[in-house]
Amino acid sequence: MASLLIQNGRVIDPKNGIDEVADILIQDGTIAAVGKKAGKSADKTIDADGLVVTPGLIDLHVHFREPGREDKETFETASRAALAGGITAAVAMPNVSPVADNQTVIEFIIKRARELDLINIYPTGAITRGQDGVMLAEINELKNSGAIAITDDGSDVHKEGLLKRAMEYAKTCGVLLMSHCETKDLTEDGVMHEGWVSTQLGLAGTPAISEEMAVYKNVLLAEETGARLHLMHNSASGSIRAIREAKARGSKHITAEVSVQHFALTDEECLGYNTNAKMYPPLRSQEHIDAVIEGIKDGTIDCLTTDHAPHIEPDKLKAFQDAAFGTVGLETSFAVMNTYLVKPKHISLAQGIEKMTAGPAKIIGINKGHLSVGADADIAIFDPDLEWTVDEKKFFSKGRNSAFIGKKLTGKAVYTIVGGKVKYDRGTIVS
Amino acid sequence: MDPILRRKPPSEAEEDLNAIRKGRDLSFQDLVSIGQVTSDDLVLLYEVARRFRDYKTYKFSFNKGVSQVNAFFEPSTRTSSSFDLAAKQLSMDTAGVSSNSSVQKGESYLDTIQTIDAYNVKAIIIRSKEAGVPEVAARYTQACIVNAGDGWHEHPTQALLDGLTMLDHVGGYSLKGRVVTIVGDIMHSRVFGSLVRLLRTLQAEIRIAAPLTLIPKDVERFGAKWYGDVNQALAGADVVYALRVQSERGANGFIPTLREYSKMFGISRKRLDLAKKDAILMHPGPVIRDIDVHSALAAVDEQSYILRQVENGMAVRKSLLWLLCDRADGKTKTFTRK
């Protein structure tokens, strides 16, 4: 296999505490050397002068829509979008059709990812059969066929007794349980964050407490059962508080993510009935955003995700209350993190990279997200200063439904390397 | 009708209205939110509306040759008939689109509205059960869009007619120092959505009274003060505005029973007497007699302006349609297709 030399980039490898200008030599798909003058020559050389070289980003929350809704997205289109965003590994949510509540679907996903050979895709299985919150899926079977975690994402496991048993069972199987937190009786028909903006728009609101109560419930049950719990897409100040308290109590088996839109955009994006700003959890008001950013700064939040949720245009061209929930994010997540966390100096670039590489890798227990010698050569190279305007017509994703359309962002992937092979090269997918 | 006005030749009647209009135009070309209406717009709309009101059902030819579609995707009695008659009294041709149309066959609102727009009509009046449909539609039509009520959001022409009714009562173009008490289902009311914005423009003191289950989050940011005790809210009010408890909008479950609601918040003779002696009672209709307003007050009491509101609705809509469809400056809308 060929060798590749990345020269003169600012190498940021948070797990190994590296943040310096260095070269990286890749041989046979793995990292052979990192350092000044790591290699003299190679089959291919990338000049990364002025660029940032990081481990490939890992996104724990992606809706690939395949199988079932290939009109919205496929493994291929989402993988291409991921590459364009510097993402080399992604976790697939199980709410597809048929639901990934059985080994056949898990095996299909793994097979598709292998055939495509674009990015690393890790499937998750459902907690309950059909994700209907009634009976447990065959969790051990899911794990054995390759599911990296179980989740009913898209809906909350409402029944506390069932959720407790799911955690006990997940612990027995040694599998991570990821929770979508929403108290449906409080959400009711809510279509956006409940507050001043929803009142002005005359739209039914989803109160923050709907999420917060569910987070508290999940935390308490995880502490009771000792299960490995990962809390998905936290957006409310009370959720951050609940997780911070749990961690302060020493509950190290509980981890949490924030989707990047939830610290970047407020509910005011919904003004004008902008359905691209409709999602669950909803974009919230500034005080929640402040709390989320505080949670990222103090380590309450372990990783940043996209919750990439592509839709076809007709599903978003409806009246706001009837439009589909979700925003795409694979092609913008690094830029959003850089623009809304690093540029305003909430965190350093290295801290942001950590939450998108080593942080998520640790949560799902994969040996990725770092640039140690011998590691898989999954690498992203960013131009951290490049300013660009989000234009949905240029997306690789089938989904055009971005909450960031028209926003000016700073930072963009230039090259994305998976397993030592350059898969994305200055705007083009190499396959 | 005043027989002298009825017999007036059209040229004279129209000259009369033109003399009041003085070549003025509105600042907006679609009316999707009352927030678009400036103080100057209000003066123009009301000066013209008051004169139209004198002429009652007189047929003007101002809008002859232009058409209007009343796209009511939700049932309506007074608003749809009022818009239709107003257009006809301006010599417009009108057609109606009802809720059992292509939207129910699965066509999107936007496609339906763009189809109607391709008839080259001048005005499309939209009533939708979802918030935001008129506002979004207005971006994609050459026709003027008038919001005739969208979900829980707004009902701007209702606010316009309510404003006229209140200003007629107090005189002038301001409600400064006046107390308007709104009682009822605030949360699910598009009437409230527009009225509260207009009252703020008119500088009224706004009080709202309802159980907290019917109060939307952060509503005080509209400048309204909430009262759990309706008697306190009514004390010294100039205008008592009762809203229906709207059971068809899922308001059920927000209160235990209509009986209890009526006892706690219904406007009775005794309660109305807590307001100023000359206070007026208003209601956007339909009135659920003996629930939101005591039956004896609904239509016949001298303090009840409910039917006057309906009459003002005709005049205000006629004024709006003339000013929108027959612009003195000849300006047309910019729009795109989707």
Residues A175-208: pLDDT tens digits? 999 999 999 999 989 999 999 999 999 999 999 9
Q: Is the pLDDT of residue A335 over 70?
A: yes
Contacts of B216 in chain A (CB under 8 A): 198-199, 205
pLDDT value of residue A99 = 98
User: Tokens standing for A80?
Assistant: 């291409």
Nearest CB among B108, B131, B250 relative to A203 is that of B131
Least confident of A66-75, A107-116, A353-362, B101-110: B101-110
pLDDT-derived band at B301 (thresholds 50, 70, 90) equals confident
Q: What angle do CA B149, B155, B158 make, to 5 degrees?
A: 125
**A42 located within any domain:** no
pLDDT value of residue B1 = 54
Q: Does residue A202 belong to the interface with chain B, where contact is any CB pair within 8 Å?
A: yes
Please tell me the total count of domains within chain A.
1
**A384 located within any domain:** no
Distance from CA of B338 to the nearest CA of A (A): 9
Contacts of B132 in chain A (CB under 8 A): 201-203, 273, 319-320
> Which residue intervals of A226-320 are DSSP H helices?
237-248, 261-264, 286-297, 313-316
- Model-level pTM? 0.95
Residue of A nearest to B133 (CA): A319
Q: Is the pLDDT of residue A246 over 70?
A: yes
pLDDT value of residue B300 = 65
Provide residues of B within 8 Å CB-CB of chain A. Answer: 108-110, 128, 130-133, 135-136, 150-154, 190, 193, 216-219, 221-222, 250, 338
CB-based contact A318 B108, cutoff 8 Å? yes
Contact between residue A275 and residue B108 where contact means Cβ atoms under 8 Å apart: no
Least confident of B74-88, B97-111, B157-171, B225-239: B97-111
pLDDT value of residue B258 = 85
- Averaged pLDDT of chain B: 92
Q: Is the pLDDT of residue B35 over 60?
A: yes
**A392 located within any domain:** no
Q: Is the pLDDT of residue B8 over 90?
A: no
Q: Is the pLDDT of residue B57 over 60?
A: yes
pLDDT-derived band at B78 (thresholds 50, 70, 90) equals confident
- List the one residue out of A178, A24, A31 whose CA is nearest residue A91: A178
Contact between residue A386 and residue A410 where contact means Cβ atoms under 8 Å apart: yes
**A147 located within any domain:** yes
CB-based contact A198 B128, cutoff 8 Å? no
Distance from CA of B130 to the nearest CA of A (A): 6
Q: Is the pLDDT of residue A420 over 80?
A: yes
Average pLDDT over residues B242-262: 78
- List the one residue out of A279, A384, A351, A285 whose CA is nearest residue A17: A351
Average pLDDT over residues B39-50: 98
Mutation choice for A interface testing from B111, B145, B218, B249 by most A CBs within 10 A: B218
Task: Give the DSSP H/E element, type plus range, for residue A51.
Answer: none
Average pLDDT over residues A416-429: 97
Residue with tokens 């949905």, as numbered in its chain: A392
Mutation choice for A interface testing from B36, B99, B112, B130 by most A CBs within 10 A: B130
Nearest CB among A195, A314, A321 relative to B218 is that of A195
Q: Is the pLDDT of residue A356 over 70?
A: yes
Mutation choice for B interface testing from A185, A194, A198, A201 by most B CBs within 10 A: A201
Contact between residue A323 and residue A274 where contact means Cβ atoms under 8 Å apart: no
Q: Is the pLDDT of residue A133 over 90?
A: yes
Phi and psi at residue A380, to the nearest 5°: -120, 140
Rounded to whole angstroms, what are the CA distances from A272 to A187, A277, A288? Answer: 22, 10, 22
Q: How many residues are present in chain B? A: 338
Q: Is the pLDDT of residue A46 over 80?
A: yes
For chain B, give every domain's residue range: 3-151+311-325, 157-304
Distance from CA of A208 to the nearest CA of B (A): 12
pLDDT-derived band at A160 (thresholds 50, 70, 90) equals very high
Distance from CA of B249 to the nearest CA of A (A): 11
Sign for the pseudo-dihedral over CA of B296, B57, B73, B132 = negative
User: Tokens standing for A125?
Assistant: 């299985």
pLDDT-derived band at B34 (thresholds 50, 70, 90) equals very high
Across A71-154, where does the E strand assignment appear?
87-92, 120-123, 149-151
Homologous superfamily (CATH) of B3-151+311-325 is Aspartate/ornithine carbamoyltransferase (3.40.50.1370)
**A117 located within any domain:** yes
Nearest CB among A189, A194, A273 relative to B135 is that of A273
Q: Does residue A274 belong to the interface with chain B, where contact is any CB pair within 8 Å?
A: no
Contacts of A203 in chain B (CB under 8 A): 131-132, 151-153
Contacts of A207 in chain B (CB under 8 A): 217
pLDDT tens for each residue of A199-223: 999 999 999 999 999 999 999 999 9
Contacts of A322 in chain B (CB under 8 A): 130
Distance CA B323, CA B32 (A): 15
pLDDT value of residue A39 = 78
pLDDT-derived band at B174 (thresholds 50, 70, 90) equals very high
Could you tell me the residue range of the domain that residue A201 belongs to? 54-364
Q: In this predicted model, which residue has the larger pLDDT, B254 or B290?
A: B254
Phi and psi at residue B272, to the nearest 5°: -65, -30
Q: Is the pLDDT of residue A134 over 90?
A: yes
Q: Is the pLDDT of residue B256 over 90?
A: no
- Which residues touch B43 (CB under 8 Å, ≥6 apart)? B173
Q: How many CA atoms lie within 13 A of A95 on its CB side?
A: 17
> Between chain A and chain B, how many beta carbons pairs sit less than 8 Å apart?
62
CB-based contact A273 B216, cutoff 8 Å? no
Average pLDDT over residues A257-264: 98
What is the SS3 assignment for B315? helix
Residue of A nearest to B35 (CA): A200
pLDDT-derived band at B5 (thresholds 50, 70, 90) equals confident
Across A252-370, where does the E strand assignment appear?
254-259, 303-305
Distance CA A183, CA A217 (A): 10
CB-based contact A320 B219, cutoff 8 Å? no
Q: Is the pLDDT of residue A132 over 90?
A: yes
Q: For residue A34, what is the DSSP state?
A: E
- List the one residue out of A334, A358, A351 whose CA is nearest residue A55: A358
Contacts of A198 in chain B (CB under 8 A): 216-217
Average pLDDT over residues A340-352: 98
First to last CA, chain A: 16
Distance from CA of B131 to the nearest CA of A (A): 6
Least confident of A282-286, B244-248, B328-332: B244-248
* CATH class as words, domain B157-304: alpha beta
- Averaged pLDDT of chain A: 97
Q: Which CATH number belongs to the domain containing residue A108 in this structure?
A: 3.20.20.140
Structure ipTM: 0.94
**A193 located within any domain:** yes
pLDDT value of residue A275 = 98
Which residues of A participate in catalysis according to the annotation?
307
Mutation choice for A interface testing from B110, B127, B136, B155 by most A CBs within 10 A: B136
pLDDT value of residue B292 = 81
pLDDT value of residue B165 = 97
